[in-house]
């Protein structure tokens, strides 16, 4: 599948989905979004140090989990990636393996899937997870985008014009 | 943890109680508040039991005295064990709670617990944390029916506080001895030493158990100044909450600002780095959801 970005903003990239989904590691239950920036990029013994625990508390239909990072108490919840979508970890193809002819056109903006996941645990520092948290709300974009890009059906147009008429 | 739940007869007569803490200074492990109470009429006998300030006693002697007082039906006791994770978390909250406040709350909690058991407390002796007079006023306001004596070195002045110090110290020592590390990385040892920052054994344990990303095992009190000296070996971590506070500091008092910037645990270089997407200059829908459009990645 090719993924065409907004050409106006100059985003063009390709995500190579050649690797079948069963080949890449499944990180479901292991993807965490922390309320901090860790200035490090690389492997770490996460599961030995980061130990989320269920609290038994439930707020706004979210099961609250608790963990500690660098002495701070984090409260979080695990959200499923919405139906019809999947989470992927993508990485740039290593340049060494590629022939120079490959990278001509798109300036090697080619990505490949290195892992997939079906949920994300997001964490707040000091506050309970809530439906008004930016991350929970960011997922709204998916349904908004779907509505925006769906071809308009005849009845939608009709009802829209009726609504417009009424406004006048 | 506390003594037997059946209320003894003497508890309905006027009682005295002592409160003391153990493990306030150490960089790791729990802080323990302990209390010991008895009928006022038992006070004289209590002073013959040779409870001295726990620090002047050897560990075996403390253990022995603790077992003795546990067996004594004319004495009641209770402890509040404050987990190091709780200490770090409170002291690193968005609105920080300092150690004195945590200590005061723990002592108050013990008074409440003993009162709720039905013990008629009339006099409570407390080893001070911070200014004794301010602390006394705070406690007296919370518990108007009780006469509080708050003093420095109360643990060596009042036998009932000496007893409380033994309860606290033995509980803290046992808690550390039996501590099960939450972390499961290999080569972790439990040679914590006393936990005091100056203890060579503690120093070498900290040295060996530091982790560039996670800092330390959660037994360690991250909010302690001792930890800051290791931060150069660690990956920098910038917190959203710290950033928000700094951004908002123009409206808060200068004093608060100073306090925050002198808090060196996280980072010294916050500046205006973007640590999360913002959705700035996009329409409200995106701003509220911090959805940014990425042009380069």
Residue A166 belongs to a domain: no
- Which residues of chain A neighbour B209 with C-beta distances below 8 Å? none
Whether A47 maps to a domain, the answer reads: yes
Whole domain around residue A30: which residue ranges? Answer: 2-130
CB contact under 8 A, B288 and A137: yes
Contact between A13 and A109 (Cβ < 8 Å): yes
Which residues of B are documented as binding site for a divalent metal cation? 20-21, 127
- Ranges of beta strands (E only) in B86-217 are 121-127, 147-151
Question: Are B238 and A144 an interchain contact pair (Cβ–Cβ within 8 Å)?
Answer: no
pLDDT recorded at residue B50 = 78
Rounded (10°) CA dihedral A33, A36, A37, A43: -50
User: Which two three-digit tokens encode residue B62?
Assistant: 């403390």
- Report strand pairing: B15-22 vs B31-39: antiparallel
What's the CATH number where A81 sits?
A: 2.40.128.680
The residues on A that touch B, with CB distances below 8 Å, are 6, 9-11, 35-40, 44-45, 47-51, 68-73, 125-126, 134-135, 137-138, 140-141, 144
> Does a structural domain hold residue A156?
no
- Quick check: is A139 in a domain? no
Question: B-chain residues within 8 Å CB-CB of A40?
Answer: 212-213, 235
Paired tokens of B244 = 């928000």
Q: Is residue A22 part of a domain?
A: yes
Its sign, for the CA torsion A29, A33, A36, A37, is positive
Contacts of B273 (CB under 8 A, 6+ apart): A37, B238
Each of the 297 residues of chain B gets a pLDDT tens digit; together they read 777 668 899 999 999 999 999 999 999 999 999 999 999 999 989 888 877 767 788 899 999 999 999 999 999 999 999 999 999 999 999 889 999 999 999 999 999 999 999 999 999 999 999 999 999 999 999 999 999 999 999 988 999 999 999 999 999 999 999 999 999 998 899 999 999 999 999 999 999 999 999 999 999 999 998 998 898 899 999 987 676 544 444 333 333 333 343 344 444 344 445 566 777 788 888 888 888 887 776
Average per-residue pLDDT for chain A:
83
Contact call for B213 and A71, based on CB within 8 A: no
Interface of B with A in 241-280 (CB under 8 A): 241, 265-266, 273, 275-276
Residue A138 domain-assigned? no
Q: Which domains does chain B have, with CATH numbers?
A: 9-177 (3.30.420.10), 237-268+276-297 (no CATH)
Does A71 contact B88 at a Cβ distance shorter than 8 Å? Answer: yes
Could you tell me if residue A157 is inside a domain?
no
Closest CA to A80 of A66, A64, A62: A62
Count of the separate structural domains present in chain A? 1
Q: Is residue A97 domain-resident?
A: yes
């Amino acid at each position: 599948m090719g993924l065409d970005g907004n050409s106006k903003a100059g985003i063009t990239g390709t995500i190579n989905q050649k690797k079948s989904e069963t080949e890449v590691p499944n990180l479901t239950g292991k993807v965490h979004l922390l309320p901090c920036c860790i200035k490090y990029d690389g492997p770490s013994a996460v599961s030995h140090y980061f130990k989320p625990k269920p609290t038994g508390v439930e707020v706004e239909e979210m099961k609250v989990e608790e963990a500690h990072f660098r002495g701070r108490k984090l409260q979080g919840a695990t959200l499923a990636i919405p139906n019809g979508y999947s989470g992927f970890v993508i990485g740039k193809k290593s340049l060494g393996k590629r022939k120079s002819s490959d990278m001509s056109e798109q300036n090697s903006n080619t990505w490949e899937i290195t892992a997939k996941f079906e949920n994300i645990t997001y964490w707040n520092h000091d506050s309970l997870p809530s439906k008004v948290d930016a991350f929970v709300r960011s997922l709204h974009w998916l349904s908004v985008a779907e509505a925006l890009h769906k071809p308009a059906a005849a009845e939608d147009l009709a009802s829209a014009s009726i609504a417009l008429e009424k406004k006048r | 943890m506390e003594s037997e739940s059946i209320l003894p007869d003497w508890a309905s007569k006027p009682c005295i109680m002592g409160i003391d803490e153990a493990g306030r200074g150490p960089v790791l492990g729990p802080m323990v508040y302990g209390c010991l109470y008895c009928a006022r009429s038992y006070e004289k006998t209590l002073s013959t039991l040779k409870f001295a300030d726990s620090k002047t006693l050897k560990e075996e002697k403390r253990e022995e005295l603790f077992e003795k007082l546990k067996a004594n039906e004319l004495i009641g006791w209770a402890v509040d064990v404050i987990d190091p994770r709780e200490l770090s978390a409170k002291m690193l909250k968005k609105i920080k709670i300092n150690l004195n406040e945590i200590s005061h709350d723990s002592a108050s909690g013990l008074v409440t617990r003993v009162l709720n058991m039905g013990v008629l407390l009339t006099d409570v002796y407390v080893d001070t944390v911070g200014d004794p007079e301010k602390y006394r006023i705070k406690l007296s306001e919370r518990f108007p029916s009780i006469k509080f004596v708050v003093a420095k070195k109360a643990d060596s002045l009042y036998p009932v506080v000496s007893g409380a110090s033994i309860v606290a110290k033995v509980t803290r020592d046992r808690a550390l001895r039996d501590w099960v590390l939450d972390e499961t990385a290999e080569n972790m040892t439990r040679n914590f030493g006393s936990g005091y920052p100056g203890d060579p054994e503690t120093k070498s344990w900290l040295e060996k158990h530091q982790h560039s990303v996670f800092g330390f095992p959660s037994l360690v009190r991250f909010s302690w100044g001792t930890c800051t000296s290791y931060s150069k070996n660690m990956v920098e971590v910038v917190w959203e909450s710290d950033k928000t506070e700094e951004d908002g500091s123009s409206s808060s008092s200068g004093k608060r600002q100073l306090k925050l910037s002198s808090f060196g645990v996280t980072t010294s270089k916050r500046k205006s780095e973007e640590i999360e997407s913002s959705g700035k200059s996009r329409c409200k829908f995106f701003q509220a959801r911090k959805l940014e459009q990425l042009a380069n990645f």
